[in-house]
Amino acid sequence: MLRKLGKWASFNHEDRAALLALPHSLATMAPNQIIVREGAQPSSTCLLRSGFAYRHKIVSGGMRQIFSIHMSGDIIDLQNSLLGTADHNVQALTHCDLAFIPSDAVRRIAFDRPTIGRAMWYDTLVDAAIFREWIANVGRRDAKTRMAHLLCEFALRLEAAGLGRHNAYELPMTQEQLADCTGLTSVHVNRMLRALDREGLISRTKRSVIIDDWKKLARAGDFESNYLRIPLASPPATNEAEYD
Amino acid sequence: MLRKLGKWASFNHEDRAALLALPHSLATMAPNQIIVREGAQPSSTCLLRSGFAYRHKIVSGGMRQIFSIHMSGDIIDLQNSLLGTADHNVQALTHCDLAFIPSDAVRRIAFDRPTIGRAMWYDTLVDAAIFREWIANVGRRDAKTRMAHLLCEFALRLEAAGLGRHNAYELPMTQEQLADCTGLTSVHVNRMLRALDREGLISRTKRSVIIDDWKKLARAGDFESNYLRIPLASPPATNEAEYD
DNA sequence: CGAAGGGTTGAGCCCCTTCAATCTTAGTGG
DNA sequence: CCACTAAGATTGAAGGGGCTCAACCCTTCG
């Protein structure tokens, strides 16, 4: 259940036992339900067991900026719960299965078991690396490049989470939500997706994305995967050459 | 020397002793000198003792996006050094005094001394909160609002670092660098600063900024300070009402 | 079958960029 | 002390990328 952290270290039996013994309560959320509201003081940390969620903030004028998309296995809300007061919202994108773990227990296990603490810390560092990449995306790339970049990032993250292949996956997001990730309008997101489609880089059916030409899409998106810190070609030893 | 971490916890004598005993080497850097280059594998973490530094990345097309500005007391490079390979550049903004601490020693002290480890972890979480705010800034706010927001953020952070007052400080940045923070062009940054000046929100002389009307500037910048997690009105008990 | 959410498309506009010129300031060498 | 230089600030004019507004279509679901 908490195995995703294993990416950063190999846990021994005691570590695993401690993780599995963590007190928690389960919950499910419907799409669009708010998990943590800005200004709230959550006393527990939220782990996403299945489904998708996203973090966002509403700026003056009512526009929304999405900061990150989370998929099953992600610890969504370390920041808000450890720092006391939430400075942004966490919301369900799809139907979600959640586990809430008291922040105290999280803090305790992190410092009692350095291996686990280190994994959690590293996880927050990678989160920050993704934030940085999004700053660059939104700040310095044009609309088509932003979209291509986002699609590439999702591809690798979903594959790493075992939720698809890097060249074909399901993405349960509306174009308006994609717009709020990229700082564009839904209208323009539509045009850019269409353009990528027309140029043969991707194909789309409903909410599924097929990347027809990974190399070209990555180039179009100015995408280099290093910031994600995903060990390439993990279990199903895909053809590494394809990634670059 | 490492006291900034004390914001997050009160250290006992042993903690302080351990921090002061940390092995390190000192260095100075000239303005614009690169401290860590993207792709490098730094084996030590960089602490800024005086001066200013910034983190950035060059995107395809040669444009630059700045991710953060650091001031004395900041630990600049935990991420790059802990995760192995740098995914962005760290560069001196002004003349800098630096201390390099071996990453191993950092890791060790973080886990041997939970109070310190927690402080470091929290520090990275606040960094991430600032990244998120910058995503929102660049993604969903217009040019003038972005500039006002950035000026407010600098004001509070500089004051918290003891480098100025929230309504008057020195900012050693060119307009081109401000542009790379906000995803604008230097030309437009100039126009927006001028506009804020003309409207009586700020005054500028050389590199110093005077905030004539904090309330109005904060409103114009859609700025709420909570994400910075700065305990308001710390030592020189300024008039709290002024902040909001 | 009707309604609602979301995708698609077109036309016109505007914020910001681009390009380029001028001005100011600080630093340098004579 | 001053000419000379370079970096950065300032300003204007013109163009474009993305936005706004508004319509229409498609799919899903009660």
CA distance B28 to chain A (A): 26
Give the per-residue pLDDT at A189: 97
Position B127 confidence tier, pLDDT thresholds 50, 70, 90: very high
Helix axes A103-112, A13-20, angle to 10 degrees: 170
Alpha-helical regions (H) of chain B: 13-20, 78-83, 103-112, 114-140, 143-160, 175-182, 186-198, 214-220
Nearest to A63 among B83, B132, B140 (CB): B140
Residue A123 and residue A225: Cα distance in Å, rounded?
A: 16
* DSSP string over A82-99: HHSS-SSEEEESS-EEEE
Report pLDDT digits (tens) over A18-42: 888 888 999 999 999 999 999 999 9
Sign of CA dihedral A189, A191, A194, A200: negative
Q: Do A128 and B129 touch (CB under 8 A)?
A: no
The three-state secondary structure class of A232 is coil
Contact list in A for residue B65 (CB cut-off 8 A) is 135-136, 139-140
Give the per-residue pLDDT at B235: 45
For strand D, give the nucleotides within 7 A of a protein CB.
7-13, 17-22, 27-28
Residue A110 and residue A104: Cα distance in Å, rounded?
A: 10
Nearest to B125 among A55, A82, A141 (CB): A82
Give the per-residue pLDDT at B206: 82
B206 touches strand C (CB under 7 A): yes
Residue B201 reports pLDDT greater than 80: yes
Q: What ranges make up the beta strands (E) of A185-242?
A: 202-205, 208-211
Going along chain A from its start, the domains and CATH numbers come out as 3-125 (2.60.120.10), 142-243 (1.10.10.10)
Q: Do A182 and B140 touch (CB under 8 A)?
A: no
Residue B233 reports pLDDT greater than 60: no
Give the per-residue pLDDT at A7: 61
Residue B121 reports pLDDT greater than 80: yes
Residue B77 vs residues A162, B55, B106: alpha-carbon distances, Å: 31, 9, 11
Residue B46 reports pLDDT greater than 80: yes
B68 → chain A, closest CA residue:
A132
Give the per-residue pLDDT at A11: 77
Q: Do A139 and B111 touch (CB under 8 A)?
A: no
CB A177 within 8 A of CB A214: no
CB A221 within 8 A of CB A152: yes
Residue A45 and residue A78: Cα distance in Å, rounded?
A: 6
Give the per-residue pLDDT at B215: 95
A206 touches strand D (CB under 7 A): yes
Give the per-residue pLDDT at A62: 93
A57 → chain B, closest CA residue:
B136
Report pLDDT digits (tens) over A160-181: 988 999 899 999 999 999 999 9
Give the per-residue pLDDT at B8: 62
Question: Of A150, A45, A59, A94, which is closest to residue B132 (Cα–Cα)?
Answer: A59
Give the per-residue pLDDT at B234: 47
Report pLDDT digits (tens) over B137-167: 999 999 999 999 999 999 999 999 889 998 9
For strand C, give the nucleotides within 7 A of a protein CB.
5-11, 15-20, 25-26
Chain mean pLDDT for chain B: 89
Q: Do B79 and A182 touch (CB under 8 A)?
A: no
| Segments in chain A below pLDDT 70 | 1-10, 232-244
